[in-house]
């Protein structure tokens, strides 16, 4: 297998972008990644795009064709484009497919993109489309919502480990603070613990401000064989590990409801592939679709002992400047969560951190970063490790 590097990144603003269409978004993200990389369109061997539910959100399937066409790469160059879907992990999985195609030697230059346009439908349709990431026949039909499933994880985590609503809220407050420093973030406002606790109850014990928002956005990265990376950039970001693991699609089938075992296994595979341990990671972008998801992620990935995630978050150990900065981008909560784009945006953030271009949210001495992208309540987990050093 060949080494792979990221040489270009691009991202739209995330938010409720009423004046932008689905295709406007991915064209902007794709073009800025290609410009950032310095490649020419003719050099692209293939494209992978993560998109969860174009069919439900914009009544559009055949997303690969649409994207490559409107990126101006279909009619003349006929570049192959493949849509990848794993619910909210679609972006991370598209990146993994791009990495695999370069690592295998089949392609040299590949674009991995992610895009979702969620605000062209009403809230009830959007919520129902997201619920399709769970088991429709045995969870959805019982009245389960996505916040409801994560609320059941939170309830048991509180019961078993003494985690509190305040500790959950601390993750949201920290991510909003990081979002104030990220130009693309959907929410750039500080919030307080009280604001989280006083926001509407969505599914007990999760409040509105424990939940990531409905968002529009797109992001893209260009990956190439590491041997040619320095032809394009002085600071390639090397892929040290690309790992994926599956778990049961239904929450009720997990051995332990408070552990996303797909995250645990994907993390272990990634550490093994990179020859690293959690101590080697300087910052991590985790899948905080809900505050409890961030708490579980930092435990499942080995940064904290099971049950300690809430206390560590409340103590500031996951803030920028803390022991392990988590979600410097603002995470899904504050940066926004256009589902297909999220996994790619995480890689964009880590690339900025490793290049030293993350502005006010820059982590000092950032050498190694991790991304963690989850589909559904844990049916799919994708973990990547990136480094400044090959």
Partner 1 sequence: MTVARFWRKIPHRYNLIGTRCTTCGEHYFPPRQMCPTCRREGKIEDHKFRGNGEVVTYTVIHTAAKGYEMQAPYNLAIIKLDEGPSLTGQVICRQDEMEIGMRVRSVFRKLGEESNKGMIYYGTKFIPE
* C-beta neighbour count of 3 within 10 angstroms: 15
Asked about 88 being catalytic, the answer comes back as yes
C-beta closer to partner 1: residue 19 or 137:
137
CA–CA distance, 233 with 98 (Å, rounded to integer): 19
CA–CA distance, 276 with 64 (Å, rounded to integer): 35
Query: Quick one: which of 334, 384, 385, 381 has its CA closest to 89?
Result: 381
Binding to partner 1 in span 344-373, by CB under 8 A: none
Q: Is 337 in the site for partner 1 (CB under 8 A)?
A: no
Selecting among 157, 176, 207, 337, the annotated active-site residue is 337
Tokens of 371: 């991304």
Q: Is 202 in the site for partner 1 (CB under 8 A)?
A: yes
Q: Which stretch binds partner 1 (CB under 8 A): 163-171, 245-253, 288-296, 345-353?
A: 245-253
Distances (CA, A) of 294 to 260, 298, 331: 11, 6, 9
Distances (CA, A) of 201 to 130, 145, 160, 183, 198: 19, 13, 22, 29, 8
3-state DSSP assignment of residue 136: coil
| Region label for 83, one of left (φ > 0), alpha (ψ between -120 and 50) or beta (otherwise) | beta
Q: Is 197 in the site for partner 1 (CB under 8 A)?
A: no
Tokens of 74: 């279909």
- CB contact set of 151 (below 8 Å; sequence gap of 6+): 202, 203, 204, 205, 206, 290, 292
Asked about 78 being catalytic, the answer comes back as no
3-state DSSP assignment of residue 349: helix
CA–CA distance, 307 with 15 (Å, rounded to integer): 33
Q: What's the closest the beta carbon of residue 144 comes to partner 1, in angstroms? A: 6
Q: Which stretch binds partner 1 (CB under 8 A): 13-21, 26-34, 37-45, 248-256?
A: 248-256
Q: What's the closest the beta carbon of residue 249 comes to partner 1, in angstroms? A: 11
Residues 90 and 339 sit within 8 Å (Cβ to Cβ): yes
C-beta closer to partner 1: residue 152 or 196:
152
Selecting among 88, 289, 296, 335, the annotated active-site residue is 88
C-beta closer to partner 1: residue 150 or 303:
150
Q: Is 257 in the site for partner 1 (CB under 8 A)?
A: yes
Q: What's the closest the beta carbon of residue 96 comes to partner 1, in angstroms? A: 25
Binding to partner 1 in span 112-151, by CB under 8 A: 124-125, 127-128, 131, 135-145, 147-148, 151
| Region label for 43, one of left (φ > 0), alpha (ψ between -120 and 50) or beta (otherwise) | alpha
Q: What's the closest the beta carbon of residue 155 comes to partner 1, in angstroms? A: 5
C-beta closer to partner 1: residue 151 or 296:
151
* C-beta neighbour count of 141 within 10 angstroms: 9
Binding residues for partner 1, total number by CB under 8 A: 36
- List 77, 105, 192, 201, residue binding partner 1 (CB under 8 A): 201
Q: Is 284 in the site for partner 1 (CB under 8 A)?
A: no
- List 40, 75, 76, 200, residue binding partner 1 (CB under 8 A): 200
Binding to partner 1 in span 203-232, by CB under 8 A: 203-206
Residues 275 and 269 sit within 8 Å (Cβ to Cβ): no
**Vertex 234 angle, CA 233 and 238, to 5°:** 80
C-beta closer to partner 1: residue 143 or 365:
143
- List 190, 253, 277, 316, residue binding partner 1 (CB under 8 A): 253
Q: What's the closest the beta carbon of residue 152 comes to partner 1, in angstroms? A: 4
Q: What's the closest the beta carbon of residue 377 comes to partner 1, in angstroms? A: 11
- The phi, psi pair for 85, rounded to 5°, reads -130, 125
3-state DSSP assignment of residue 299: helix
- What residue ranges bind partner 1 (CB under 8 A)? 124-125, 127-128, 131, 135-145, 147-148, 151-153, 155-156, 159, 200-206, 250-253, 257
State the catalytic residues: 88, 337
């Amino acid at each position: 297998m060949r080494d792979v590097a990221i040489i270009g990144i691009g991202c739209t603003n995330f938010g409720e972008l009423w004046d932008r269409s689905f295709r406007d978004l991915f064209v902007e993200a794709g073009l800025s990644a290609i410009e950032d990389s310095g490649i020419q369109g003719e050099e692209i061997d293939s494209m992978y795009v993560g998109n969860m539910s174009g069919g439900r959100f914009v009544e559009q399937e055949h997303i690969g064709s649409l994207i490559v066409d409107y990126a101006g790469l279909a009619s003349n160059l006929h570049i192959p484009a493949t849509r990848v879907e794993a619910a909210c992990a679609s972006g991370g999985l598209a990146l993994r497919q791009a990495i695999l195609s370069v690592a295998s030697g089949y392609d040299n230059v590949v674009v991995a993109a992610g895009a979702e346009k969620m605000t062209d439908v009403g809230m009830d349709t959007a919520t129902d489309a997201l619920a399709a990431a769970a088991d429709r026949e045995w969870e959805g039909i019982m009245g389960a919502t996505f916040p409801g499933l994560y609320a059941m994880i939170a309830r048991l985590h509180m019961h078993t480990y003494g985690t509190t609503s305040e500790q959950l809220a601390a993750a949201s407050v920290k991510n909003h603070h990081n979002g104030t420093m990220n130009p693309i973030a959907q929410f750039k406002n500080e919030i307080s613990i009280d604001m989280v606790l006083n926001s509407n109850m969505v599914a007990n014990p999760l409040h509105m401000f424990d939940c990531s928002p409905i968002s529009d956005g797109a992001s893209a990265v260009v990956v190439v064989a590491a041997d040619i990376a320095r032809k394009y950039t002085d600071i390639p970001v090397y892929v040290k590990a690309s790992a994926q693991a599956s778990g049961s699609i239904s929450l009720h089938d997990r051995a332990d409801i408070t552990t996303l075992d797909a995250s645990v296994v994907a993390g272990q595979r990634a550490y093994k592939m990179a020859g690293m341990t959690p101590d080697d990671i300087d910052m991590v972008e985790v899948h905080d679709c809900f505050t409890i998801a961030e708490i579980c992620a930092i435990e499942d990935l080995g940064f904290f002992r099971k049950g300690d995630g809430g206390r560590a978050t409340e103590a500031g150990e996951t803030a920028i400047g803390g022991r392990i900065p988590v979600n410097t981008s603002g995470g899904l909560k504050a940066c926004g969560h256009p589902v297909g784009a999220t996994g790619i945006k995480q890689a964009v953030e880590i690339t900025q951190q490793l290049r030293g271009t993350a502005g006010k949210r820059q982590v000092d001495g950032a050498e190694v970063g991790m991304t963690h992208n989850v589909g559904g309540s844990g049916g799919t987990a994708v973990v990547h490790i990136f480094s400044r050093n090959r």
